[in-house]
């Protein structure tokens, strides 16, 4: 019985990975469409610094903070909320599979 439960948990974690990937892709595509406006809203830093920071430092405050609220992009805010929700489900399932 325990093996069946473990198998189901692994399947649930793997299945929850697909919405996480899909919502991440949607968020990145929307972000990329308005990249120049986001760049200007950050004070127009050197473009190399902006792109380097986009992948290392920007995602945390953009996804889990309030930095996106100042851009007034409702679609991007909706995609951020979808990404947060998908990440929360994936994290909880991953945690519960490890506790089992």
Q: For the chain, what are the domain ranges? A: 2-99
pLDDT > 90 fraction of the chain, expressed in percent and rounded: 16
The structure's pTM equals: 0.75
Residues 14-31 have pLDDT tens digits of: 999 999 999 988 988 888
Q: What pLDDT score was predicted for residue 53?
A: 58
Confidence of residue 42 (pLDDT cuts 50, 70, 90): low
Contacts 24+ apart (CB under 8 A), 79-83: 79/23, 79/26, 79/27, 79/30, 80/27, 82/23, 82/26, 82/27, 83/20, 83/23, 83/24, 83/26, 83/27
């Amino acid at each position: 019985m325990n093996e069946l439960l473990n198998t189901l948990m692994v399947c649930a974690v793997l299945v929850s990975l697909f919405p996480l990937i899909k919502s991440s892709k949607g968020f990145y595509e929307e972000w990329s469409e308005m990249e120049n406006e986001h760049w200007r809203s950050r004070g127009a830093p050197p473009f190399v610094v902006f792109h380097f920071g986009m992948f290392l430092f920007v995602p945390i405050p953009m996804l889990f903070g309030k930095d996106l609220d100042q851009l007034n992009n409702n679609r991007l805010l909706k995609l951020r909320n979808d990404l947060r929700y998908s990440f929360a489900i994936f994290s909880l399932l991953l945690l519960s599979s490890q506790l089992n």
